[in-house]
Amino acid sequence: MTSGTTTAAAAGTWRLGDLTVNRMGFGAMRLTQDGAALSNDRTPHDRDRAITVLRRAVDLGVNHIDTAAFYFSPMRSANELINRALGPYPDDLVITTKVGPGRGPSGDWLNWARPEDLRGQVEENLRQLGRDHLDVVNLRMNGPASIADRFGALAELRKEGLIRHLGLSNVGAGQIAEALPIAPVVCVQNRYAIAARSADSEEVLRICGERGIAFVPFYAIAGDGRESGAAAATENDAVSAVAKAHDASPAQVRLAWTLQRGPHVLAIPGTGNPDHLAENVAAAALRLTEEESRLLTELGQDAGQVA
């Protein structure tokens, strides 16, 4: 499918609290290095090309960018690239960031932030982005632990005006239920892809839809179900067949399937390549048939990843 004229608006919109965003957004993690892993053995992307990608994304109608202060490599910081490329920011641009994980200056992972550490993480995001408040802050979790203390600390920062809206990342249904009495949740960002799903993730998708919460999958294109084994071959064959029928790429098909999981589902594919960016945004206009969507959904079931 063509990628030169389609904009992110083709996917429709959703509201994060009082902020309206196009459902096709952009994830900034890949801007800092050649590859998705947050490690120090990756080749940093060219800085000028990263800035070009960000500006082109906005030109293509992207007004929702996902980032984090811990998205950095030895030579690049996603937040500072965003600040350099897009500041002063367009009025309609919504920047979502995350707190919770900690990384030292050399990139080594530190202990998960305690409630009293979260103010510092929020202030670091503010500094890097050049903002006086953050549009949306997701609390990133690392397992099924209670979130009350940490989410409560962010709720206090929201009352102070440092944060406009709150979200969650890598959480289950019980953690969402725990957060809601503390403060409104506008989005949940979890791993979710054609063959990287579970009964729990489907439950979170459903709960978010019922409560008007945006569900924001990460790794929607490169779901880990495609990495090895017979299931991967079956998935690739099926995705490739659907892609051929639409004159589209497999990545575009995966993004289209993601968006068709519900009107509350947002996509945040990331890339440091301008051509891949245009291709990803063009997927906003791709509409799969009911049969195609069903076929792709069943791939996760065939792989034994959806109960």
Superfamily holding 8-302: NADP-dependent oxidoreductase domain (3.20.20.100)
How confident is the model over 81-121, as pLDDT tens digits? 999 999 999 999 999 999 999 887 777 777 789 999 999 99
What does the DSSP 8-state code read for residue 104? -
How confident is the model over 119-171, as pLDDT tens digits? 999 999 999 999 999 999 999 999 899 999 999 999 999 999 999 999 999 99
Q: What is the pLDDT of residue 239?
A: 95
Q: What is the pLDDT of residue 224?
A: 43
Instruction: Using the predicted structure, report yes or no on whether residue 231 has a pLDDT greater than 70.
Output: no
Which of 71, 89, 192, 219 is catalytic? The answer is 71
71 assigned to active site: yes
What whole-number distance in Å separates Cα of residue 95 and Cα of residue 103?
Answer: 21
In this prediction, residue 235 has a pLDDT band, given cuts at 50, 70 and 90, of very low
Q: What is the pLDDT of residue 273?
A: 94
Range list of H helices, the chain:
47-59, 78-86, 118-129, 148-159, 173-179, 199-211, 229-245, 250-259, 274-282, 290-302
**pTM for the structure as a whole:** 0.91
Q: What single-letter amino acid sits at 59?
A: D
In this prediction, residue 236 has a pLDDT band, given cuts at 50, 70 and 90, of confident
